[in-house]
Structure 1
Amino acid sequence: MTEGILLILKGLHVTVILSLLSAMLALLAAFAAGLGRLSRFSPVRVVSTTYIEFFRGTSLFVQLFWAFYVLPLLGVSLGPMEAAVLALGLNLGAYGAEVVRGCVQAIGAEQTEACIALNLTRYQRLRHVIIPQALVMMLPPFGNLAVTLLKMTAIASLISLPDLTYQAQLVRSETGQTLFPFAVIMVIYFALSTLIKKGVGRLERRLAIGADRIETSGAR
């Protein structure tokens, strides 16, 4: 029993690291592709749209197997962690890109008109006015994607990454117990998901308060 708990805790460490690294890549991809779809340059829009549609339109399992089994045939060798981060990050980034695009477009036209009146460049408009307001709207869907990412990390066990699911399967094969290891990791996944949702909710409230202060000071 104790050895099983220790194995599962080792898997917890791997799952947390995988989730954090994948989330970082997903955020970068989401903002790059989401803003890319709004670019004035058609090649940038085409590349961004192709990336989004490809990763949303193909299976994450296939993407993971490509990263781990196919890329080495093309001269790019990745370990289990690197392959899992690449597949999960790019997959979730494609969904996050649509969130970024939608939230940026949801900012009222009057904001853009005011920025133009102040002679702000497109980059300055995005950085100082539009994106800070859009971030408040992005947080709830980003929180949902973060929870989804956490649960999707379980597929990394298919390429022998010793995450929670892999370690639970190892405990099951060594002890012959099924209920114990899978009940434990179910509780752990639920606890981690709850922490993510509470953290995102708290950040959302803080950003909303900050946005209200900015609007109030602007009204004055």
Structure 2
Amino acid sequence: MFVDPATLDSAAFIALQLAHGALTTLHITVLAELVVLVLSFVIALMRLSPSRTLRWIATLYVEVLRGISALVLLFYLFFILPLFGISLSPMTTGVLGLGLTFSAYGSEIVRSALVNVSRGQRDAVRALDFGPVTAFRRILLPQALPFMLPPLGNQLVELMKTTSLVSLITLSDLTFAGGQLVTTLGQQTLIWSIVLVCYFVMAWPLSWLVKRYERHVTAWRQEPGT
């Protein structure tokens, strides 16, 4: 959505375009983060699997995606896949490309946190004959979450900032909106300064929410007898 500046005063026009771009940025961030979380847990559990094949597939996934530029992956999904008959919308491309890239790093965060749970806890799970799902949900995950949340929170903020890359595949995110405004109005210093502040205003609440949830999941550590 790009409104004719002649119908609005300059300040209202800038505010409207940047607000629309910020909403698109947040939309991509939320959807991509869902992809990141799902794939991070799946790949991490595959890397911890007793199956050698699953471990090999997960390791290959992580190493390949960590070695590929996020921007190049977006370009490949958006410009190259259509040559093979697979066309993705700009939104799908942005969400999938960023989700795949960040899940490679997120899976290592999840894996290291799960490995960090003490051996005694794992032995107790086996001794009590818990099923794998029950053991993961009731014993391993609650103890691993405090180790996961700080780096995953940092990754979420980094993901939000990296959404600026989707402006190069025609998505009208905050960066794209800023570029259009500079082209239309020419006020580079003002507009990019506002964009800078907008990214900070969006990033700070995300960090605050993660820290708040981190305090919630670690509250059991402060309870008497723990």
TM-score w.r.t. the length of structure 1 is 0.95
Q: How far is 1:38 from its partner?
A: 0.2
User: Deviation string for 1:197-218 (max 9, x for gaps)?
Assistant: 11111000011004554x84xx
Within the candidate set 30, 50, 71, 1:61 is matched to 71
After the TM superposition, which parts of structure 1 deviate over 4 Å for at least 4 consecutive aligned residues? none
1:41 aligns with 2:46: no
2:177 corresponding residue in structure 1:
167
- Cα distance in 2 for residues equivalent to 1:19 and 1:59: 18
User: Deviation string for 1:152-190 (max 9, x for gaps)?
Assistant: 000000111000000000000001110121111110111
- Cα distance in 1 for residues equivalent to 2:122 and 2:44: 18
Q: How far is 1:21 from its partner?
A: 0.3
The amino acid across from 1:40 in the alignment is P
Within the candidate set 125, 137, 144, 1:134 is matched to 144
Query: In the alignment, is the contact (CA less than 8 A) between 1:19 and 1:150 conserved in 2?
Result: yes
User: Deviation string for 1:96-150 (max 9, x for gaps)?
Assistant: 0000000000000000111111111333222210012101210000000001001
Within the candidate set 201, 204, 207, 1:197 is matched to 207
1:99 aligns with 2:109: yes
Aligned pair count reads 216
- Cα distance in 2 for residues equivalent to 1:184 and 1:43: 50
2:6 corresponding residue in structure 1:
none
- Cα distance in 2 for residues equivalent to 1:69 and 1:113: 50
Note the aligned Cα RMSD (angstroms): 1.3
1:125 aligns with 2:135: yes
Query: In the alignment, is the contact (CA less than 8 A) between 1:133 and 1:211 conserved in 2?
Result: no
1:188 corresponding residue in structure 2:
198
Query: In the alignment, is the contact (CA less than 8 A) between 1:157 and 1:166 conserved in 2?
Result: yes
- Cα distance in 1 for residues equivalent to 2:84 and 2:120: 50
Query: In the alignment, is the contact (CA less than 8 A) between 1:23 and 1:146 conserved in 2?
Result: yes
Identical counterparts, % of pairs: 35
List runs of 5+ in structure 2 lacking aligned partners.
1-9
SS of 1:77's equivalent in the other structure is: coil
- Cα distance in 1 for residues equivalent to 2:153 and 2:195: 21
- Cα distance in 2 for residues equivalent to 1:121 and 1:160: 48
List runs of 5+ in structure 1 lacking aligned partners.
none
- Cα distance in 2 for residues equivalent to 1:108 and 1:76: 46
Q: How does 1:64-75 map to 2 (within 5 A)?
A: 64-75=74-85
